[in-house]
Amino acid sequence: MDALLIPFLDATIRTATPLAYAALGEVVTERSGVINIGLEGIIIAGCLGGLIAAGAGGPTVGFLGGALAGLLMAALFALFVLRLKADAIITGTALTLLGLGLTGTVYRGVFGLEGAALGTPSIAPIALPGLSSLPLVGPVFFTQTVMTYLLYLLVPLLAWWLARTHTGLALRAIGESRTAAHAAGIAVDRIRWGAILFGGVMGGLCGATLVLGQVGTFTEGMSAGRGFIAIAIVVLGRWRVVGTALAALLFGGAFALQYLLQAVGWALPYQLFLALPYLLTLVMLAALRGRAEAPAELASHEG
Amino acid sequence: MTEALLALWDGAFGSSYAIWSATLVRSAPLLLLGLGVALAFRAGVLNIGAEGQFLMGAISATAIAQSMGGTVPSIVMIPVMALVGALAGASWAGIAAWLRQRFGVLEVISTIMLNFIALASISWMVRGPLQEPTRIYPQSAEIPGPAQWPFLIPGQRLHLGFVIGLLACGIAWVVLTRTAIGFRIRAVGASPSAATSAGGIAVAGTVLRVFLVSGACAGLAGAAEVGGVTWALYEGISPGYGYTAIAVALLARLHPGWIIVSAIFFGALEAGASAMQRDAGIPSVVVQVIVALVILGVLAGSQRRVIAGAATLGAEGRR
Amino acid sequence: MSTEPVGVDPRDQEALALEGITVRFGSVTALEGAHCTIRRGTVHAILGENGAGKSTLMRAAFGWLTPDAGTIRVHGAPVRFQSSADAIAQGIGMVHQHFMLIPAMTVTENIALGGQGRFDASTTAARIAEVARKTGLPVDPTARVRDLAISAQQRVEIIKALVREAQILILDEPTAVLTPDQATELLRWVRSFADAGGTVALITHKLREAFTVADYITVLRQGRTVVSAARLALSESHVIEALTGTGTGTGVTPASVEASTVGPTIRIADLATERRMVDHIADAPVLRLDGVSYVDARGVTRLRAVDLAIHPGEILGVIGVEGSGPRELLRILAGRLAPTSGRVTRPDAVGFVPEDRLHDAVIPTFSLTENLALAEGGHARGWMDWSRWWGVTRDLLATADVRAVGPDIPMATLSGGNQQRFVMARERRRATAALIVENPTRGLDLNASARILADLRTFGGNPRPAVVFHSTDLDEVLSVATRVVVCFDGHVAEVQSPLDPNDRTPYTRAMTGSDGAGDVISAERR
């Protein structure tokens, strides 16, 4: 039993990690009242940014590169939505197309048609001394990459920041009513810029983690809808930090199920497992009908 | 650089073959897809799922053509393919419409999820039920002769689907400006609250119908692509036509007449980009970058909202 | 400023001074050199019609907009506000007409907004409790704002300003959302706040309020200050003259303004007669509610077993404060809302003029022709005969006296008054049996409002349609209605006309509950 369960749970955490980065970033963006549908484009930019930067300076530089790529994409989004008052949904769609197209073009430009060198630097799991020898929990939670461990710190920190600081309060207020926040002397646009850029950095880290910590190389369109799945994760997590992290686990499980069921030798076509996360997204969104807990300002963007 | 641009131009307009067999052939699906997106946006429906609806149309049209075999005449076969493709696209859009109306699921997300599911479906189809008899290649067998749509000009590859696209744009324009249904679509898109309160218009029903028609346009485009261009089903049948369609619709400012111009522009871009990749080694995905930049450019250049609100035909509706 | 002579009453020192304030929005000039000096420890009323620039002036004082010209001084020192945060830092607090509260958050969170560093809910709550106790404004810091009644929300707004140590309070039409008794209570509090050394700028369009509570009065008209003086130096007629621009000659007589601040051409004295005249028309009703109840999506009961019959030719005035049921009552009569239980008898030919014109009645980007056709959008079939609609629109513009270039221009280009006249005419066109009208003068200036009210009274037809009219302004309702019903806590009851037509007490009583106004606080938590 453990022979199947532990690899499955391990894969769940591993695939959930990049999803959690993107979704937590989106939580902050959406709590400020803006939905960034362009997250997909940010993630793929983070993938390529991570790959190129890691090739130049190793994994640490790679993560910085991924974050920077995400930041730049998010800045473009913020420029259009906040400065030019463009429609957030359409801008986000364009950002996704831009990310997919631009990474494809740059990738082929840099690496030629035969693709990236196989020797992409990557990060290996680190077994935490002591904790990793706990039964079940050890190999699953404490034999992961440093990016997963960072998440363990980031989740409580972010939750605390949203609930217990005035900036966090201001962010939530803007998401509920920008006029009321404005009247309270809050610099609405500055905080929204911050929230969108944070979402960009986190989306970029998601991409970099995907390349450097999970897949080990870059392929065109490798983000494979994770940006949209992350948005669904935020809905499932009820726009709360801890809830979103848990929801990311569920979707990590859906991705990891492919490995488990293939290992069991299930005879179903593998495309069914490919489609599983997307089906799960639809089912989850439908099951969570009613958006009572969504930030009120988001409604102005939703049909 | 100059070399690349020359290759682009040559590929799009450099010869009669480039025009009639490349540019306009690539414009054909964009006409229907762009129209579908524009109609949806007009009614305030953010259907980003044209890609998936296109793929489902292509799968269904292939399946029906294969199963009817070579004995049915074209005059029956082609309308059936078109109808089945349109129905498949409408059903695929219908899932998103149902999720929106029954469960309040944002259609932007659901249609994109359905795009990925459609991709997985086609991947399975060409390796499973629809795979060619030798079971070597991940694609379907060639559809029978009567299912292959007629070319319009001898020696050129421009096919019936292009004419259907032009007709659809014309019909949509008349419907939007001159009929009660079109008026309701515009009213619902511009202001759902006023449409309900002042007009007594059933918003949900209107939105649902437009969503289905939008999907049908995309599904029909998929059928036309199989019948008129590829004659077989394979995974890469759409180089992202469904996403380009968003740019087609926005550049045309959701106006059915301008969609014809805008679709030909992007068709030329796609055709030119393949030539550019072939002749100058520039990757053709650069088209996607251009598509994105066009959308951003339209957004930046418009003070008003591009979708819904501003989508009135204004005084045109009068005479 | 050190120019104040020694020995002067400190209450004469200026708290907030605005000089030569000019504000332009594009080509529109909202304020043109407006000025006013608000002294410490006084209540200063800012009077003016809708659109006169009262709110704009105070927004400039609160840093919400930067004037194109002019100077602002706080306690004598010139300031330049970049945002409301700067004004708050200078001890200025503003309570907006539409509250700036976040319904989903608690009172504590709302009040803590705009702070820095760590946010500690319990410390803030303690501070709120302390301020509430000191100032006599009871609030529960842990309550969610969406669960509070309007008057309690208003107290939260005031405390929000006071917690930030505001010495200068700007109140924008604070009594508009209150019942008459709550309004009296608030004005009493305002007086005591000033007597304790605070400073209040009270924006209002109600003359009575200014003369009851203010020490100083500034009158704005068309963006300019026309009067600014101590209340004792002013007579009511002088102020009315300043408000309307002329004493005579416009058909607006000062006396009528006093009786009804918004409907100047109609005097209450004229109405009692007409109210009696239509009393006996009571034959077969056109609209009828039998035991109608309505529970909204959040589970709040908005209407309780309402019985109501409305007859042809009568103008039924509906009064009642926000949230007590008028909104739902009107929508059920108009067929826009299905009751939870009970029976509604209504003909098809009912027109509806909703409060939020630009959102619910018209499509701003559509042409006038299209907006007229919208009325039949739901059941139109086949082709749209646009040339016919164009002709109908042209005729309607002429008969309803809507000032527009032509049927082709977008609705958004019309003035608010003309938009409303268009909507009224459109609804009247289809409403042969009944017309439901909700707050039709909202956001309109004095003259436009008067014309709308006059239109309401003069609808013709045979039989004349029944009109159901709700306004948050009691005087407007009394100036138009032939019969008055009141909504209170979901109950709807007829108010008997008093013998003295100028006596408003039966109406104000009814709006706060039949057994008087003793228990306002306990009724507040919904």
Domain boundaries, given as residue ranges, for chain C: 10-248, 268-364+432-511
| Contact (CB<8Å) B198/C374 | yes
Interface of C with B (CB under 8 A): 336, 352, 354, 359-367, 369-370, 373-384, 386-387, 389-390, 407-408, 410, 423
Question: One-letter amino acid identity for B46?
Answer: L
Chain A closest-CA separation from residue C504 CA (Å)? 36
Is A62:A121 a contact under the CB 8 Å cutoff?
A: yes
Tell me, yes or no, if the pTM score tops 0.80: yes
- Per-residue pLDDT band for C513 (boundaries 50, 70, 90) equals low
Torsion of CA C362, C364, C369, C375, to 10 degrees: -20
- Residue A272's φ and ψ, nearest 5 degrees, are -65, -40
Is C339:C318 a contact under the CB 8 Å cutoff?
A: no
Chain B closest-CA separation from residue C446 CA (Å)? 26
Q: Check residue C431 and give its pLDDT.
A: 81
Nearest CA in chain B to A84: B300
Q: Give the start-to-end residue ranges of the domains of chain A.
A: 2-297
Which residue among A163, A169, A187 places its CB closest to the CB of C113?
A169
Q: Output the six-digit token pair for C191.
A: 């007086």
CB-side exposure of C62: number of CA atoms within 13 Å? Answer: 24
Task: Tell how strand C28-39 and strand C14-25 pair up.
Answer: antiparallel
Classify B195 as helix, strand or coil.
helix
- Residue B43's φ and ψ, nearest 5 degrees, are -90, 10
Q: In the predicted model, what is the mean pLDDT of residues B114-123?
A: 94
| Contact (CB<8Å) B295/A94 | yes
Nearest to A20 by CA among A141, A148, A142, A127: A148
Mean pLDDT, chain C, whole residue set: 82
Least confident piece of the model among B166-170, C99-103, C369-373, C387-391: C99-103
Nearest CA in chain B to C411: B314
Return the higher-pLDDT residue of A261 and C18.
C18
Residue C287 has pLDDT above 50, yes or no: yes
Residue C243 has pLDDT above 90, yes or no: no
**Alpha helices of chain B — where are they, by DSSP H?**
2-13, 16-17, 24-42, 50-68, 74-103, 107-125, 160-178, 180-190, 192-197, 203-225, 241-251, 256-280, 286-301
Q: Quick check: A179 contacting C, CB < 8 Å?
A: yes
CA distance B316 to C71: 49
| Contact (CB<8Å) C365/B190 | yes
Question: One-letter amino acid identity for B29?
Answer: P
Q: Output the six-digit token pair for B309.
A: 């609100």
Q: How remote is the C-alpha of C198 from its chain's centroid?
A: 26
Is C490:C301 a contact under the CB 8 Å cutoff?
A: yes
CA distance C29 to C56: 11
Sign of the C-alpha dihedral computed for residues B113, B114, B118 and B121 taken in this order: positive
Chain A closest-CA separation from residue B270 CA (Å)? 13
pLDDT in tens, B205-258: 999 999 999 999 999 999 999 999 999 999 989 988 998 899 899 889 899 999
Residue C278 has pLDDT above 70, yes or no: no
Q: Candidates 3.20.20.150, 3.40.50.300, 3.90.1330.10, 3.30.2090.10; correct CATH number of C10-248? A: 3.40.50.300
Nearest CA in chain B to C369: B318
- Residue C434's φ and ψ, nearest 5 degrees, are -155, 150
Q: Quick check: A189 contacting C, CB < 8 Å?
A: no
Most B-contacting residue of A87, A234, A284 (CB-CB within 10 A), to test interface: A87
pLDDT in tens, C405-439: 889 999 988 888 899 999 999 998 888 889 999 99
Residue A123 has pLDDT above 90, yes or no: no
CA distance C449 to A133: 79
| Contact (CB<8Å) C113/A186 | yes
- Per-residue pLDDT band for C512 (boundaries 50, 70, 90) equals low
Residue B315 has pLDDT above 50, yes or no: no
Nearest to C414 by CA among C430, C429, C426: C426
Q: Check residue A272 and give its pLDDT.
A: 85
Q: Check residue C403 and give its pLDDT.
A: 85
**Alpha helices of A79-145 — where are they, by DSSP H?**
88-111, 137-141
Look at the domain C268-364+432-511 and name its fold.
Answer: Rossmann fold (3.40.50)
| Contact (CB<8Å) A271/B121 | yes
| Contact (CB<8Å) C84/A170 | no
CB-side exposure of A69: number of CA atoms within 13 Å? Answer: 34
Residue whose entry in the numeric block shows the structure tokens 């900036």: A167
Return the percentage of chain C with pLDDT > 90, whole number. Answer: 39
Q: In the predicted model, what is the mean pLDDT of residues C497-509?
A: 71
| Contact (CB<8Å) A176/C104 | yes
pLDDT in tens, C163-183: 988 999 999 888 877 777 788
Q: Output the six-digit token pair for C140.
A: 């529960």
Question: A130: which strand partners?
Answer: none
Q: Quick check: A268 contacting C, CB < 8 Å?
A: no
Q: Check residue C275 and give its pLDDT.
A: 45
CA distance C470 to C466: 13
Nearest to C509 by CA among C58, C184, C224: C184
Residue whose entry in the numeric block shows the structure tokens 């408003």: C504
Chain C closest-CA separation from residue B158 CA (Å)? 34
Is B43:B185 a contact under the CB 8 Å cutoff?
A: yes
CA distance B5 to B8: 5
Which helix (H) or strand (E) segment is C220 a member of? strand C216-221
C13: number of Cβ within 10 Å: 14
CA distance A235 to B99: 15
Q: Check residue B96 and give its pLDDT.
A: 96
Q: In the predicted model, what is the mean pLDDT of residues C340-358?
A: 90
Which residue among C86, C103, C113 places its CB closest to the CB of A184?
C113
Q: Output the six-digit token pair for A252.
A: 């990590």
pLDDT in tens, C363-386: 999 999 999 999 988 888 899 999
Q: Output the six-digit token pair for C56.
A: 């704009």
Q: In the predicted model, what is the mean pLDDT of residues B162-189?
A: 96
Is A303:B100 a contact under the CB 8 Å cutoff?
A: yes
Q: In the predicted model, what is the mean pLDDT of residues C444-461?
A: 80
| Contact (CB<8Å) C113/A164 | no
Residue B292 has pLDDT above 80, yes or no: yes
Q: How remote is the C-alpha of A40 from its chain's centroid?
A: 9
| Contact (CB<8Å) C119/A184 | no
Chain B partners within 8 Å of A278 (Cβ): 113-114, 116-117, 120
Chain A closest-CA separation from residue C102 CA (Å)? 6
Question: One-letter amino acid identity for A194?
Answer: G
CA distance B137 to B133: 9
CA distance B1 to C488: 76
Residue B298 has pLDDT above 80, yes or no: yes
Nearest to B230 by CA among B118, B142, B135: B142
Q: Check residue A292 and give its pLDDT.
A: 54
Chain C partners within 8 Å of A168 (Cβ): 119
Chain A closest-CA separation from residue C5 CA (Å)? 36
Which residue among C94, C114, C118 places its CB closest to the CB of A164?
C118
Is B214:B45 a contact under the CB 8 Å cutoff?
A: yes
- Per-residue pLDDT band for C5 (boundaries 50, 70, 90) equals very low
CA distance C309 to C489: 20
Best-predicted range by mean pLDDT (B51-55, C57-61, C140-144, C502-506) = B51-55
What letter would DSSP give residue A128?
P
Q: What b-and-e string marks burial along C311-340, b requiring 16 or more CB atoms within 10 Å of the CB?
A: bbbbbbbbbbbebbbbbbbbbbbbbbbebe
Q: Output the six-digit token pair for A181.
A: 């926040």
Question: C94: which strand partners?
Answer: C170
Is A295:A176 a contact under the CB 8 Å cutoff?
A: yes
The region, left, alpha or beta by phi > 0 then psi within -120 to 50, assigned to residue A94 is alpha
Q: Quick check: A184 contacting C, CB < 8 Å?
A: yes
Q: Output the six-digit token pair for B279.
A: 């002749």
Within chain A, how many helices (H) and strands (E) appear?
11, 2
User: Going by C-beta distance under 8 Å and a sequence separation of 6 or more, which residues neighbour residue C129?
Assistant: C141
pLDDT in tens, C453-487: 888 888 776 678 899 999 877 778 888 888 999 88
- Per-residue pLDDT band for A289 (boundaries 50, 70, 90) equals low
Asked if the bond preceding C463 is cis, omega within 30° of 0, the reply is yes
- Per-residue pLDDT band for A291 (boundaries 50, 70, 90) equals low
The CATH number of the domain covering residues in B2-317: 1.10.3470
Q: Check residue C50 and give its pLDDT.
A: 66
Q: Does domain A2-297 have CATH number 1.10.3470?
A: yes
CB pairs < 8 Å spanning B and C = 100
Q: Check residue B160 and give its pLDDT.
A: 96
| Contact (CB<8Å) C378/B202 | yes
What letter would DSSP give residue C497?
P
Question: One-letter amino acid identity for C84?
Answer: S
CA distance C442 to C50: 9
Chain C closest-CA separation from residue A292 CA (Å)? 10
| Contact (CB<8Å) C64/A170 | no
Domains C10-248 and C268-364+432-511 share a fold: yes
CB pairs < 8 Å spanning A and C = 70
Nearest CA in chain A to B125: A271
Residue C493 has pLDDT above 90, yes or no: no
- Strands (E) located in C90-179: 92-95, 168-172
Q: Output the six-digit token pair for A56.
A: 């130049």
